[in-house]
């Protein structure tokens, strides 16, 4: 999966490096200097494209999606010592960040299976600038749903759109008239009244936005009583934390989308060390 933004991001990463560190100016840049990266336990995902763009050779010892133990060797990088050490921190930052996301998502997927086999964990558009492609791919690697990459991927009717149009049912009507048949329509709601209007207007997905699990459960039960539950996909989003996410997973919902998996996942520790230096 290669996104059009990926090459531009790689160039941006290269710009981050600068010329070289002050100490490296005094070190000979011998060829064939070899380095290995180790890690603590976690699910591995990282992009190595930018290393190859810099002329380095990369040998991977694990595949994306592999679960590794602490101290595992992930990859070998071969090339000029100055180049490798110049990109060391950047490489580790990307690997640690993306692997932490994949690890957190895998943990949630396995947790959800214990209480509700149908619910999916999904990411949101809350991503770091320039890293959305990699963060979304990390979610996929972990077993989660990437949700929309861009706003244009689907019709998402948010509370601000409803405020401008004046009525949630009218907003859905406009979307159905103007949008392509291929685009699903999802609507943020905060009350049972709006949820009913959205379903009866023909939307595809209801997002229960920023409400606690008890309130969400009441809305879902009311939809079931009215015979509306099976006509719609239900997503819950916002206000979801590691502490309360299992309470949501136990509900009769289809998707849990949470921003913390890309913004606050605990980094997987990694390090880089010299294995062999070819001296002149």
Residue of 60, 126, 158, 173 with catalytic role: 126
Residue 76 structure tokens: 């070998």
Report the DSSP pairing between strands 72-79 and 120-122.
Answer: unpaired
Q: Could you tell me which residues come within 8 angstroms of residue 70 by beta carbon, excluding any fewer than 6 positions away? A: 39, 40, 41
Residue 40 structure tokens: 């603590």
Q: Phi first, then psi: give them for residue 37, nearest 5 degrees.
A: -115, 130
Distance CA 40, CA 69 (A): 6
Token pair 């320039």: residue: 130
Report the DSSP pairing between strands 57-60 and 185-189.
Answer: unpaired
Distance CA 74, CA 142 (A): 17
Q: Is 118 a catalytic residue?
A: no
Rg of the chain taking only CA atoms, in angstroms: 23
Residues annotated as part of the active site = 126
């Amino acid at each position: 999966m290669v996104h059009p933004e990926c090459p531009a991001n790689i160039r941006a990463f290269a710009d981050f490096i600068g010329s070289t560190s002050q100490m490296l100016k005094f070190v000979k840049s011998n060829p064939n200097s070899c380095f290995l990266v180790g890690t603590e336990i976690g699910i591995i995902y990282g992009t190595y494209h930018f290393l190859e763009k810099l002329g380095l050779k990369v040998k991977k010892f694990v595949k994306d999606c592999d679960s590794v133990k602490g101290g595992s060797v992930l990859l070998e990088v071969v090339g000029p010592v100055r180049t490798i050490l110049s990109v060391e921190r950047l490489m580790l930052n990307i690997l640690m960040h993306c692997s932490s996301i994949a690890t957190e998502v895998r943990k949630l997927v396995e947790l959800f299976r214990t209480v509700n086999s149908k619910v999916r964990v999904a990411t949101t558009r809350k991503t770091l600038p320039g890293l959305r492609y990699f963060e979304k791919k990390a979610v996929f690697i972990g077993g989660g749903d990437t949700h929309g990459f861009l706003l244009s991927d689907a019709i998402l009717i948010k509370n601000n759109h409803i405020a401008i149009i004046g009525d949630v049912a009218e907003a859905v009507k406009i979307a159905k008239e103007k949008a392509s048949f291929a685009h699903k329509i999802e609507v943020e709601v905060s009350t049972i009244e709006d949820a009913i209007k959205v379903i009866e207007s023909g939307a595809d997905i209801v997002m229960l936005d920023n409400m606690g699990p008890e309130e969400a459960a009441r809305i879902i039960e009311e939809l079931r009583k009215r015979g509306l539950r099976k006509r719609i996909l239900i997503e819950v989003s916002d206000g979801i934390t590691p502490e309360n996410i299992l309470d949501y997973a136990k509900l009769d919902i289809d998707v849990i989308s949470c921003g913390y998996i890309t913004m606050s996942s605990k980094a997987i520790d990694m390090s880089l060390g010299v294995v062999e230096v070819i001296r002149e």
